[in-house]
Amino acid sequence: MLDLPIRPRRNRKSALVRAFVREAELAPDRFILPVFLHSGRGCVPIPSMPGCERLDLDGLLREAEGALHDGVRAIVVFPAVAEELKTSDGAEAWNEDGLVPRAIRALKQRFPDLAVVTDVALDPYSCDGHDGIVRDGRIVNDETVAALCRQALCQARAGADIVAPSDMMDGRVGAVRRALDGAGFTEVSILAYTAKYASAFYGPFRDALDSAPRFGDKKTYQMDPANRREALREVALDEAEGADIVMVKPAGAYLDVIAAVRAATTLPVAAYQVSGEYAMLKAAAANGWLDERRSVLESLLAIRRAGADVILSYFARSAARWLRQG
């Protein structure tokens, strides 16, 4: 080595040079926008998620149009299901005339180039508020998987581009893949919630959908926040079962898991910046404690730097606009 001072700052001296050496980039086409849907009239603000609303079908179409205008070309739909439709088996999840299939058909008819992602899980439809079917106080695995296959097929028939099993039941990715392929939906992708943790950061989301568990918690199927190696086991299983994209949820507190998953697979990796992360950043910005634009973009960049190819974020539209402004 030359006997000269090392000056890494030379690679930071101007915007152009910094751009030359930048290792991670953000772009609108890396984002998926989560949206909340309800069957009522009008759009209802969500107090714990300022700027987010439960949308009716007209509001959903306006939101999709706005997202496309901002450069965000994919959305994932989450339904707030009326209480009278919730049952122990979650059968509304595969109602061909239900809220989600109607929304998918409306979106694909109006915006055929929009990628529509759907949630595959029973908690919005269950009177128990769990992602699976409950028997004698336990969430039963295989019966739930059969129900999830019916739900995924219903969504595929409506026109979903990507189905996203978020339930964390064992074997559901392979079962959904076989069901889709057997029905001729070989081009419908599976975005697997591969490492979904039993996190405290989901509270505002459950408020938005009124989908909190009516008893107990979700620790018998969602992952222990203490575990990282277990995520790699889930990656190997989902990859072997036919997942097209694997996901880590939440994102911000699990950057090490995202990095480990990225190193373990050649599949695309998604990460979900969840409702609690959104709420914290919005609250800090509202109180003047953080600059919203800078802190949001930094948080998203950290998720990309950790290895995520795709980011689900409620900030997707705002971030896309900020990136365009430069």
Vertex 299: Cα angle to 296 and 300 (nearest 5)? 90
User: Strands, E, within 178-308: which ranges?
Assistant: 189-196, 245-249, 269-273
Length of the chain: 326
C-alpha to C-alpha distance for 249 and 194, rounded to whole angstroms? 8
Q: Determine, yes or no, domain membership for 19.
A: no
Q: Determine, yes or no, domain membership for 16.
A: no
C-alpha to C-alpha distance for 288 and 282, rounded to whole angstroms? 10
Q: State pTM to two decimals.
A: 0.95
C-alpha to C-alpha distance for 138 and 132, rounded to whole angstroms? 9
End-to-end, the C-alpha distance of the chain in Å comes to 39
* Alpha carbon separation from 188 to 30, 176, 179, 235 (Å, rounded): 19, 11, 11, 20
Q: Determine, yes or no, domain membership for 8.
A: no
C-alpha to C-alpha distance for 32 and 313, rounded to whole angstroms? 7
**Does 250 sit behind a cis peptide bond, omega within 30 degrees of 0 on the bond before it?**
yes
Helix (H) or strand (E) segment spanning residue 300: helix 292-306
Q: Which residues pair with 120 in a beta bridge?
A: 165
User: Which domain, by its residues, includes 214?
Assistant: 25-325
pLDDT for 208 equals 79
Residue spans of the chain under pLDDT 70 = 1-2
pLDDT for 36 equals 96
Q: Determine, yes or no, domain membership for 17.
A: no
Q: Is 214 helix (H, G, I), strand (E, B) or coil?
A: coil
C-alpha to C-alpha distance for 150 and 179, rounded to whole angstroms? 8
pLDDT for 215 equals 83
Q: Closest Cα to residue 72, out of 309, 274, 315?
A: 315
Could you give the residue numbers annotated as active site? 196, 249
pLDDT for 2 equals 67
pLDDT for 132 equals 93
pLDDT for 264 equals 98
DSSP secondary structure, 166-182, as one string: -S--TTHHHHHHHHHHH
Torsion, Cα 157 314 239 132, to 10 degrees, reads: -70
Structure tokens at 25: 């980039």
Per-residue pLDDT tens over the stretch 37-84: 999 999 999 999 999 999 999 999 999 999 999 999 999 999 999 999
C-alpha to C-alpha distance for 210 and 216, rounded to whole angstroms? 16
Q: Determine, yes or no, domain membership for 128.
A: yes
CA 246 to chain centre: 11
Q: CB neighbours of 196 closer than 8 A, spacing ≥ 6?
A: 166, 168, 222, 223, 247, 249
* Alpha carbon separation from 160 to 38, 61, 101, 119, 195 (Å, rounded): 18, 15, 8, 10, 23
- The count of structural domains within the chain is 1
Please give the single-letter amino acid code of residue 95.
N
The domain that contains 138 carries what CATH number? Answer: 3.20.20.70
Helix (H) or strand (E) segment spanning residue 45: strand 44-45
pLDDT for 158 equals 98
Q: Determine, yes or no, domain membership for 62.
A: yes
Q: Determine, yes or no, domain membership for 14.
A: no
pLDDT for 201 equals 94
C-alpha to C-alpha distance for 118 and 151, rounded to whole angstroms? 10
Q: Determine, yes or no, domain membership for 278.
A: yes
